[in-house]
Chains A and B, each alone.
Chain A
């Protein structure tokens, strides 16, 4: 069996187990009832998205320092993957918020900084379509990617530094932040499964970008000949 098929099957199994645990293993929340189960998808996607943006940031830094195409390929792949996970966060958040808060959206610090993060990485990908020359495109997008990452600590700190409509942190948020031990385990298992999905998507996306790089090189060589 091909290695890629096997890894996809492992990731699917992990995601299936995580979904089962989110619906049937984690206890129902006393205050919110069933709706809180969105937490497992919403929070795990948010953490995975931020992890992906961190990989993008490191790859962008390495490109600026070393100017090797592979860091540009990794940067754009991680940026796009992070954007997909953040899209899931922005779509599942309002579905959870509406029954609990009575509103779909509010411009508080956490929601706004996450939306700005999403816009920044959309801009990062759009910027790449505007520059044709590969080295210039890679450098400009790496510099923009480093700038875009500044918003990540703001997203992380927003519910710690300011009073927001969004709930306060359940982990690493001081003595009042805690979660039921079973919920905690299910949340971390879901994050682990999501990291597996991120790795799978990132690897596929990186391969695509590497192929694109090779194609551009062949085209340039054929034009020069």
Chain B
């Protein structure tokens, strides 16, 4: 079982990078959706 820790570390690091990226896309999408909503509201108020 030599180097089992290194194998686990590599897989953990790899999956963590993918997971963080997926979360970052979801967060950016949600923030952008809020911005669009805010802009739409301000445009409606301006009319």
Q: Could you tell me which A residues sit within 8 Å of B by CB distance?
A: 19, 33-35, 37-38, 41-42, 45, 84, 87-88, 91-92, 95-96, 98-99, 197, 201, 204-205, 207-208, 211-212, 214-215, 218-219, 222
Contact = CB atoms under 8 A, between A and B. Distances in A.
Interface of B: 1-4, 6-7, 9-11, 13-14, 17-18, 21-22, 25-26, 28-29, 32-33, 35-36, 39-40, 43, 46
Contacts of A91: 10, 13-14, 17
A79 B28 CA distance: 17
A79 to B, nearest CB: 13
Contacts of A19: 11
A72 to B, nearest CB: 16
Contacts, number: 79
Given A34-B3, A34-B4, 8 more contacts: A37-B7, A41-B10, A84-B17, A87-B17, A92-B13, A92-B14, A95-B10, A215-B35
Contact of B22 (A34, A204, A207): A204
Contacts of B43: 218, 222
B25 A35 contact: no
Contacts of A95: 6, 9-10, 13
Contacts of B36: 211, 214-215, 218
A35 B11 CA distance: 11
Contact of B6 (A84, A99, A204, A211): A99
Nearest to B26: A204
B7 to A, nearest CB: 5
Nearest to A42: B10
Contact of A201 (B9, B25, B29, B39): B25
Contact of A211 (B1, B22, B29, B40): B29
7 closest A-B pairs by beta carbon, nearest first, are A35-B3, A95-B10, A92-B10, A38-B10, A88-B14, A84-B21, A204-B25
